[in-house]
Each structure stands twice: as C-alpha cells, then as structure tokens.
Amino acid sequence: MSPLLIVVFALLVVYKLYRFAYDKPPNTPPGLIRIPIGGSYWLFLWRNYKYVHLAMAYYAKKLNSKLYSCYMGDYFVVIANDYTNVKEILSREEFDGRVTGADYIKDRAFKKILGIFFIEGSQWQEQRRFALRHMRDFGFGRRQEKLESEIMDEMSLFIDTLKNGPIYDGEKEIIRGNLALFPDVLYASSANNIWNVMFGHRFDRSEHDISRHLCRSALMFQRANDPSGGALFQRPFLKHFGNMFGYKNHIKSNYAIVDVIKKGLERQKATLSENVDRGFVDNYLKKLNEDDKSPYFTEEQMIILLVDIMFPAFSAIPSVVTHAIKHLMHNPKVMKKVQNEIDSVVGTSRFVTWEDRINLPYTEATIRESMRIETVAPLGVIHKCVKKTTLGGYEIPANTPVVTNLAAMNNDPDMWGDPETFRPERFLKEDGQLSKDLTLPFGFGRRLCAGETYARFNIFGSIALLLQNFNLFFVEGEPSNLEDKVPGLIISPKELWIRLEMR
C-alpha cells in the first residue's frame, strides 16, 4: 500500500471518528462528545459514578446551557436541568411519551408493556383515566374521610409501638428500647396504608412482616436501577451478567411484590361483591368481568399497575421521612421551631392531624425544604417526545428520550440563591404563610403522580407525629452523615438507628 493511500485511509478514519463524536441531529440543543459503545454515558460515569444526576448538572455548567443533548449508547437524549424547561416538558402533551420497549422494563412485566409508568398512547390514556376515576374514591386526588381516619389509626399504632415497645419478633428487630431502625420502622404503616387503598383492608399487627417484606423488596428494586436507564437500557444483553448491573435484584424484588399481590387477588376474588367496593382492586376486578372491556384490561395489566402504584409508597415515603428527620437532627434549631409550632397549635392532648396542616406553615415549609434539598427521585421517570417539536428554541426529534433533572433544578443557585443551605423560610411569605412550591416533587401535567395528595398526607403525618411526641438523636457509630445514602431510581438513606426520647 502506498504512503498516499495510508494517509488517505488515516484521514478518512479520523474524519469518521470526528463525525461520530460530534454529529447530532440538526438544530438540537448543545451536545456532549460521543464515545464509542456507551456514548456520553461514559462521561457521566467518569464524573460521578454513583449519582448520574450530579454529573448531568456538572456538564450543564460546562456547556453553559441548562438544556443540552447527548448520546446514551445509541440513543439520542435531551436533558433539562432548569425549572423553565423541566416544567415545559412536564406540561406539554408532546412529551407525554415513555420508553416502553427496553428488555429490562418488559422483563419485570411478564415480558409485556404493562403498568402505568412505562406505557404510553391510548393504553396509558385508558389506564390513567380508569385509575384516576376509581382511585379518587379512596383518597387519591381528593380528601377521603374514611381513609384519612384509617391512616391515622395506623399512625397512632406506630407511635404507640415506639412508646410502649415491640411485641412481635419482627418488631424486636427494628425497635430496641428507645432505639428505632429507620426507615424500616416506617414500613408497616407505609405498606398498610397503600394496601388499604388498593385492597380495602390492612394487615393486622401480627402480619406486619408482610408489610416490611413489601417495603424491603420495593427498596431493593429502587436501588437496583439507574434512573437514567444506564447500561441495561443501552445494551440489553448485559442482563445476562447476573447482578453486575443490578438486573438480578431488579427482577427478584419486582416479582417478590408480584407474588404478594397475587395472593391478595386470590382472597379478593373469593370475596368479591357486586354491591360493595372495598378498594381500587374491586373496581378493576369488576371491569375484568365485563364482556365489552378494552383489550388493555387484563389481570397481568392490573398486577403491574398495582406494583407501579404501590412501590413508591412502599419505598419513597419512608425514604423522604428519614431524609427529613436526618436534616432536622443536623439542624436542631429548625427541629425545635417545628416542635414549638406544633405545641402552640395542637398541644399534647391529641395527635396532629391533616386538618392542622393549614395552621402549621413552618412545619410544612420544613417538609418542603427537605424534599427540595434531598430530591428523592432526582431524574423522575424519563419522558419521550412523541412527535417532532421544539423546546427552548431548539428542535427535538420524534422518539427522543427527555430527561428532567429535578435534582439540578431544585439545587439551582439561579433559582434558590443558597440551595446548599437547609432553610425552610424560603417556602414562606413575609406574613409567615406558605408560598408556592416550585420543587415539583410529584411531577406536573398529565403525568403528575396520582398519589400526590395521599403521599403528602402520609409524609406530613409521619413527621409531625414523630416531632410532636419525641426528641430525636443520632446514635454513635450509625451512618448519620447527610451523604450516607444509596443511589438508584430514588436516593434512599442508609439504614440507621435513631434514639427517641419521649417529650
């Protein structure tokens, strides 16, 4: 081969590599360099292997653009890191799509496209419409007196157990004298409350091991997955490498929840009555019995729908409460101010209730601040652009996955001034009343979490009751640092023992 041909070949290779690294669809947001096999994902891993959302925020600063693009493997992806673009994505119908066809997503749903999180189009619209209509009667989206009373019963049992000590073996593993293991100690009430919404009954205290099993399985699922999709999204064959990329725990934890749901459905079917609706499941079972139902209504769809609705309550609510408690213990003046407000408004003769929330603005502001500074689902759930459109002055091609970096938005100095400071007052107006919450912890628009009202009720109740009844202290040797947390679909706190002293 002549020297000229070698030079031409080398130049051609360099040109092809350059085009591979820098080419992207025309008029799209500024982009990161593309690296073979993993694309820009290598850059995220290099910058922050554990917390991809932090790496995404870092490159927004490097590019001087809070809206930018990159390749995740072979997928062209757009990432928004600011309030304006995040809210627009969540608000607009063009971005209501989901990534539905990934192997690891279908594998947890009987190898089909099922549930509510990872479906789109007419299937999602029909399931969403049915869920919203029938779950509203059981406390999702609006107040429901019976459910709220039952949640308070469960929380009262929780406080009583902390005060008077454990009875059953499972309780003795997580309560030792005046020490309680968080977030595990929150699992029984968290699982029981959402199970009651779905099935219309609760596990009694002797069955709380089932509740804890559900929550521990849900947390395993959360920790097994990368919120950006990660390696399994880009290269499906990697699922065959056992648990190297979390796939084994992804499947094991998911079907652990499925198995409990199947047993619950057997009981529900055997006692189903046309004249009584005990919970959401009864309504769905009756729908399945209709001759003219849509093909989207199947028992497998119901099971994965229940998994999707319940596993955030199993894992995210206890994580949010534990994050908040840790921040309060790191900021004792704030904790004391919350307790003083509760004492002055409610006192000690009765428990705090949801009705008190409007009169406890500093308590609510503290909860909002903890949810801002610890954005529990940093990337939410990835959206997809269903048709060619524009965003922030740039073109977005159809079928482009779109990432909303909620954590970057909630820690943006341009928006918050001092985002690294735990300061509940930022959520209060000059008159001491609550201002608008811009943190979007439950999303926005048509993909808004249907359980927002329910979740806020449970989070407020858990934190307010704990602070009303106890002073909380770290235990020496426990993971008390605010950085002691575990990545995944949600950022969950490491398990830790906390000392509770009755007030």
Burial class (CB in 10 A: 0-12, 13-18, 19+), 77: buried
User: Under DSSP, is residue 318 helix (H, G, I), strand (E, B) or coil?
Assistant: helix
Tokens of 285: 């079972």
Known binding residue 449? Answer is yes
Q: What is the secondary structure of 234-266 as a DSSP string?
A: H-GGGGGSTTTTSHHHHHHHHHHHHHHHHHHHH
Q: What span, in angstroms and rounded, lies between the C-alpha atoms of 405 and 491?
A: 13
Q: What span, in angstroms and rounded, lies between the C-alpha atoms of 344 and 294?
A: 54
Of 111, 467, 102, nearest to 321 (Cα)?
A: 467
Angle, alpha carbons 231-389-416 (nearest 5°):
70
Residue 314 near residue 194 (C-beta atoms within 8 A): yes
Q: What span, in angstroms and rounded, lies between the C-alpha atoms of 444 and 96?
A: 11
Q: What span, in angstroms and rounded, lies between the C-alpha atoms of 455 and 313?
A: 7
Residue 493 near residue 323 (C-beta atoms within 8 A): yes
β partners of residue 31: 69
For residue 239, the one-letter residue type is K
Of 449, 323, 395, 436, nearest to 83 (Cα)?
A: 436
Match 């943190």 to its residue by tokens: 439
Give the containing element (helix H, strand E) for 384.
strand 383-384
Q: Which residues contact residue 265 at a Cβ distance below 8 angstroms, ignoring those fewer than 6 apart? A: 281, 285, 299, 302, 303
Burial class (CB in 10 A: 0-12, 13-18, 19+), 12: exposed
Residue 384 near residue 97 (C-beta atoms within 8 A): yes
* Helix, strand, coil abundance in the chain, percent, nearest 5: 55, 10, 35
Angle, alpha carbons 176-179-180 (nearest 5°):
90
Q: What span, in angstroms and rounded, lies between the C-alpha atoms of 493 and 79?
A: 26
Instruction: Tell me the Ramachandran region of residue 39: left when phi exceeds 0, alpha when psi lies from -120 to 50, beta otherwise.
Output: left
List strand residue ranges (DSSP E) for 73-194, in order.
Answer: 75-80, 97-98, 175-176, 179-182
Match 């995740």 to its residue by tokens: 72
Residue 74 near residue 58 (C-beta atoms within 8 A): no
Binding positions: 449
Binding residues for heme: 449
